[in-house]
Amino acid sequence: MITVAILFIAFGVLIKYGKMYYLIAGYNTMSKEEKEKYNIEGIATVFRNGMFGMALIIIFGSFIAKFTENPNVQNYTFWTSMILGIPYLLIKSNSKKYKKNQ
């Protein structure tokens, strides 16, 4: 599970600091005019924060699982991070806050 957390951290860094916006679903299929309507830097920040948050929950769950010697805790925290993180990314990144006023 730590590997998954490292992947989330890597994706968050790549999207925000590596400017690999094509990793954001749907953004790479937009026309240039449509892309100009969005604050991609703000959306990239949301993705970085969401990915880091999900990674933190997974890492926390891995340490708790080792400490309590209960491997099920790791699975619970993984799915908790997915259930909380994915809707956060979808709702927050699609909010009107990141649309530029034309």
Under a CB-based contact definition with an 8 Å cutoff, are residues 84 and 19 in contact? no
**Residue 101 falls inside a structural domain:** no
With residue 40 as reference, give the H or E element that holds it: helix 40-68
pLDDT, position 1: 86
**Residue 78 falls inside a structural domain:** yes
**Residue 90 falls inside a structural domain:** yes
- State percent of the chain over pLDDT 90: 77
Measured in degrees and rounded to the nearest 5, phi and psi for residue 70 equal -125, 100
| Higher per-residue confidence, 100 vs 56 | 56
Chain segment 3-29, per-residue pLDDT in tens:
999 999 999 999 999 999 999 988 889
pTM, 2 dp: 0.88
Q: Which domain holds residue 85?
A: 2-96
Chain segment 60-86, per-residue pLDDT in tens:
999 999 999 998 999 999 999 999 999
Angle at 66 between CA 64 and CA 67, to 5 degrees: 60
**Residue 79 falls inside a structural domain:** yes
Of 17, 14, 38, 16, the residue nearest 27 (C-alpha)? 38
**Residue 102 falls inside a structural domain:** no
